[in-house]
């Protein structure tokens, strides 16, 4: 930077005891640069305040809405999956009790020639949809994690280099010396890093393979 170079030059001239006229010339150059420095400082300050306003008044409410929406979505999905599991468990109990009730009774099922083909086609379609579901789920988790990491990295550039982000509290209401949006993003990022999607993906792969075996036989 020109201002810093001139200041260094002036210090060197003072140390070396150079000609006073040269020293005065350098001082004059520094004074001429100071107005430019002031303009630059004011510009940077104005831009910084604008960024802070956008961060705190626009970005933070949108992120809160997004996080709360994701929380409601996962809660609804968890309730739906629990209901499905209870229904399957009840169906298994009913099926387990059917042979004793129907003992001594023979049932014959007549299957049309086209039935095996239809079943195989349906099983193949179901396997394809399951594998697509699995791929979309993995992509969604990876994209969300990448988004939060990028956003957190951008926000951390505004934090002092000596700040210990590992000590930021989970709740944005607790004072940490940083704007609430920092805590929200950092804790969101940490939470996503603890998510283990591998067991879910393996379960979907196993389920899809099982469905695929129905039409392969």
pLDDT digits (tens, 9 = 90+) for 29-60: 777 767 777 887 888 888 888 988 888 899 99
**pLDDT number for residue 216:** 66
- Report if pTM > 0.85: no
**pLDDT number for residue 114:** 59
169 DSSP assignment: -
Measured between alpha carbons, how far is 186 from 156 in angstroms, rounded to an integer?
9
Question: Lowest-confidence range among 2-6, 116-120, 129-133, 175-179?
Answer: 175-179
Is the pLDDT higher at 99 or at 63? 63
Summarize the confidence of residues 1-28 as an average pLDDT: 70
Tokens 């169906």 correspond to 91
Q: In 3D, which of 70, 75, 73 has the Cα closest to residue 188?
A: 70
Those residues whose C-beta lies under 8 Å from the C-beta of residue 183, and which sit 6 or more positions away, are: 168, 169, 170, 171, 172, 174, 176
Q: Give the chain's end-to-end CA distance (angstroms, integer).
A: 75
What's the whole-number average pLDDT of the chain? Answer: 79
C-alpha Rg value of the chain to the nearest Å: 33
- Residue range 177-204, pLDDT digits in tens: 678 888 889 888 998 899 899 999 999 9
């Amino acid at each position: 930077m020109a201002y810093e170079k001139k200041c260094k030059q002036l210090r060197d001239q003072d140390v070396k005891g150079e000609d006073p006229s040269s020293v005065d010339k350098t001082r004059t150059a520094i004074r001429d640069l100071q107005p430019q420095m002031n303009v630059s400082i004011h510009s940077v300050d104005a831009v910084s305040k604008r960024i802070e306003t956008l961060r705190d008044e626009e970005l933070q409410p949108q992120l809160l809405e997004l996080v709360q929406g994701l929380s409601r979505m996962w809660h609804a999905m968890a309730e739906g999956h629990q209901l499905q599991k209870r229904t399957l468990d009840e169906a298994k109990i009913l099926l387990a009790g059917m042979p004793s009730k129907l003992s001594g009774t023979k049932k014959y099922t007549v299957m049309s020639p086209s039935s095996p083909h239809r079943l195989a086609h349906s099983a193949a379609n179901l396997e394809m949809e399951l594998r697509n579901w699995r791929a979309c789920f993995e992509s969604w988790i990876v994209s969300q994690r990448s988004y939060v990491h990028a956003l957190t990295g951008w926000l951390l550039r505004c934090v002092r280099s000596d700040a210990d982000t590992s000590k930021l509290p989970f709740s944005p209401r607790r004072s940490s010396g940083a704007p609430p949006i920092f805590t929200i993003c950092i804790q969101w990022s940490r939470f996503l890093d603890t998510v283990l999607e591998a067991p879910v993906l393996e379960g979907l792969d196993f389920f899809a393979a099982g469905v695929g075996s129905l039409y392969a036989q």
